[in-house]
Structure formats: C-alpha cells, structure tokens
Structure 1
Amino acid sequence: MARPKKDGLDYFPFDVDFDTNEKTEAINGEFGAKGTLIFIYLLLAIYRKGYFLQWDELVKNQLANRVPGATGELVEQVVKRLISYGTFNEALFTSDNVLTSQRIQATYLDATKRRKNDKPSLYWINDGINVTSSGVNVDINPQSKVKENKVNKTKTNKNQQKKSSVVAHDTSAFKLWENLWGFPNAIALETLVEWIHEFGDELVSFAIRYAAKRDVKNKGAVNYLTKVLEGYKQKGITTVDEAQAALDKHQQVIASNRSVPNFNKPIEPEPDWFKQQQEQPQTAKPEPNSNPESNSDLAAMFAELEQAKNESKSNSEQKSQ
C-alpha cells in the first residue's frame, strides 16, 4: 500500500529573534501577549496545512478558542494588522482569502526538498509562478496579470514600510519614544515618521521630552504631541531654539500671573450668624452682693440670730436665780 502524501510540516524553523522582531513587537505593543500568541498559532496552522491557510470563520474561531481570553474579533484584527505589515500577501488575501507569503513558501520548499511530491503551484508566488486559485501558470492565465500587479504593488508597499521603519529606528525621536513608552504600534510609528519628515528629528525629540516632563502616558502620547506640533506649526516654530524660547516665555507669563496679587478680588460678605451675634444686646453680669433685696434678707437673718441668742441668755439667768 502506497504511503499517503503529506502536505504539511511536522516542525518549522523558529527564529530566535522572533520576540524582538519589529513586527512581533508592534503586534505585542498594540494587542498585548494575546496578539503575539495569535501570531504564533497562525504560523502553526499554516505550516500544518503546508504553505498557505484558507481563511474563514471556522479557522478564525478555532484560533480564538486556542488563545485564552481571545475573541474572533481580536483574531481578525491581528490578521489584518499582519497583512498591513506585509507578513502575509495582501493580494492573495483580498482575492482568495488565503494567508501565505514568499518567506513561508521558501521555508516550505526548503523543508520538503527531499519529498517526491510535485512542485506546488496553488497560490504560489515564488520562482516566477504567479498566484492562481486553480494552479494555472502566469503565461496562460489572462486574469493572473491583474493579480501579478497586486503582488508587485504589495511588494512596493512592503518595501516602503521597511524604509520608513528603518528611517524611524535611526532617529533620536524614535529612541526617545521607545525608552519612554515602549515600541510604537503601527499607527504611532507611521505618525512618528510623518512628524520627523515634516518637523525634523530634533524638534520632534524636543516635543517628546517636553511631553515626558508633563507625565504624558503612552495612550495619550500621539494626541498630545499632535497638539504640541500643530502649535509649533501655527506659530511658525521650526527650530529647537525657537521652541525653547516660546516655552520660556510661556512659563514667565505663568509665573508673573502667580506672583502679582489680585487687589480687585471682591471682599467676601460677613456670614449671617456673625451679623446676628453683633446685633444682639450685650447683658452685663451682676456683681456679687449688688442686689439690694438680697442685702436686706441677709440683715434680717442676722437680726433673728441675735434675738434668739439674747432669749437663750435670759432664760439661763432666770434658772440660776
């Protein structure tokens, strides 16, 4: 009995710098550890099948079930972000919902070079064989020219993204961002590159340092720096010296406003309880023995005692006689 033909791989090479790869770091920065784990499971699913994966709702939900806490929506977002990074071929995904790439196919060829299988052609984008859903070669497939243009366009976009990323990595602004807020996600990286092209590396770096002094967090960095740089643009600030001078002037205005007393501040009215206390008449405390009635009572008491004393003495004298 003939041995069944095997399409997938039992294992595939996994780069030791996968965790520090710019695409992996971008995924991890935007989606966290779940995004990185989804990325790995995507590669496992592709190589298990061979060199491509037909993307549908079933596969999406299976991947979501394999990553704890993930949802189908999160998996979909990670896939679309990887496509925008050039990790997967955008033309094939748009036309046939297929996830693959030249690197994945090259890895598959190297791993199966000892097999006696036919040369792969379905969704193949290496060695001059163009992408087709039926395995037809580019020379005899009239529709493949359109797909070839999509592939070339994707390559061009991918190269542009790589150049932008390399440009950003060599700048002080990018290094400052990475030290303060970690590796920028795709949106932040693209925005950072645009800022550097428009305002220059030094001025963007100055704005980032100013944001750090204001304790701006990662989530609000893009919005905050956008306002700062737009302010520079409106004021015609193009150099670090001009930005520093504008900052010093702004701080002087704030300091002068704090030091000058405000004599025009209205006097607060007296509270009602204070007014009532002032309106009430003050009664003087009576001095001791100042009441004439109490003095007359005291004199009468002493008279009674004196009388009783005389009567007692008179009785004693009569008894003695």
Structure 2
Amino acid sequence: MARPQKNNADYFSHDSDMRNDIKIKAVRNKFGVTGYTVWCMMLEYLTSCSDNVMPDDEITIELISGDFGVSVTEIKDVLNYCYLLGLLIHENNLIFSAKLKERLAPIYEKRAKAKEYAERQSRNNGKFDIKSTVQTEVSVTETPQSKVNKSKVNKSNIEKDIVAAKAAALSRRDNFYNSLVPFTEKYSKDMIRSFFDYWSELDRTERKMRFEKQTTWELGKRLATWFKKEPFHGNTKHTPIASDGSSVAGKAALERTNAETNGLKELINSVTIG
C-alpha cells in the first residue's frame, strides 16, 4: 500500500522581528499579548493542518479555544481583525494565511521532486535496488538544523571575502609603494614616507586606500603639491634632492650665484677696455 502523501509541515519560518511588522503591531495594540499569542498559535495550527487551511465552524473554534487557552469570543475577535488587516484569509468557510502558504511552498516543491525521483528508481521485490539507485540531492523537508548549517556557511563565506579583500588591498598598497620609488631621486625619503603613510591608509572596511577614493589622481602632481605644503604636513626639514645628490634649492642658488659672477666679470672687462 502506497504511503499517504504528507500535505502539512512540521514547522514554519518565524522571523525574529515579526512582532515589529506594522500589521502585527496593530494586533498587539488592539488585543495586547493575547492578540499576539493567538496569531502565533494560529500560524502553528495552520502549519499542521492539511493543506494549511482550517475549517471555519463552531466545533473547530471551540477546539482551538481549548488548545490555546483563550476564550472563543477573544479568538473570534482576533480572527476578524486579522481578516480586516489581510493577515488571514476567510474564503469558502476556510481560514488560511497566504503568506504562510507562500513560505511553505518550497518544502512541498522539494517533496514533489523527491517523490518523482523515487518513482523513477528501479525496485526489486518492491524495494529500491541499491545498485541502480543514485542518492538524490533533493531534501524532502528543510529542517531547522539545515538552516543553521546554511547560516554557518554564509558566515564563513563572508569572513573569507573580508580576508580576501584585505589581502588584495595590501597587495595594491605594495604596488603603490613601488610606484613612489622613482621619485626618491627628486624628493627626500622622509617626504615620500609621509606621503605614502597618509595616502595608503585603509578605510574602515579595509578594502580601499585613501588615494583610491579620489576622483582624480596623478602621482607626480600630487607629490609636487605635497612638497609645496610640507610645513603643513608637519615636515619642515624636507629638502628636495637633485639627480647628482645635491639639494635642488642649493643647486639653484649656486647657479644664480655663478650667473651673477659672470655678469659682474663682463661689466668689469667692458669698463677696463673702454
């Protein structure tokens, strides 16, 4: 004899903030804790009912009144208010929750797939032929434990993404540091270091450096601007370095002195010759 098909569920998904839903708040405001209690128990009861619907008749209401420990009058008042808000549907003398049916639909779909898969398997004397049966990956029902496992997997994936993002940012920071090396011939190492420390700072997510958040970026121009503002950045001892190892400022001063000396010599010679 074939096993009867199960058309209810053992549990339903209960959001941790369900009490804060605007419609649930209205129920709580009107009926207090009793209203919220009846609502939650109704969801539990409907989940266990065949096809997740319950008949709207006096006997059923009396039975759930005894089950919930709430008077028939209070249950009817809460149900009528839930109809008004659309939390529950009253149709053809049946009561159901459209949202609950929507949430349970994936479970029934998995069951149907599992049943279809089982019907295709070979049998030997009414039993599955183990040699020819391939284990299905379809879960008949989704248990609370499976949800916990999924949550752990998701958390693990998020942690891996964070670590990978930070590693990528550190790798880009090394590249940024290397891009500054050629400029050590023009600027002092102290200035390059302070420039690097400032612009390579990671944001709170540790995914981007400060300079990566700029809309425009030309390294040479940024360094030149930084050099002009060195006192502002806290380095008053910086002296730019020329390619021959001398200071840029000192070399320029020497060139001006030589030019003035040559000009003076020419003036003296012109006066002597005259």
Query: TM-score category by the smaller chain?
Result: 0.3 to 0.5
The higher radius of gyration belongs to 1
Give the TM-score of the pair, scaled to structure 1: 0.33
Give the TM-score of the pair, scaled to structure 2: 0.38
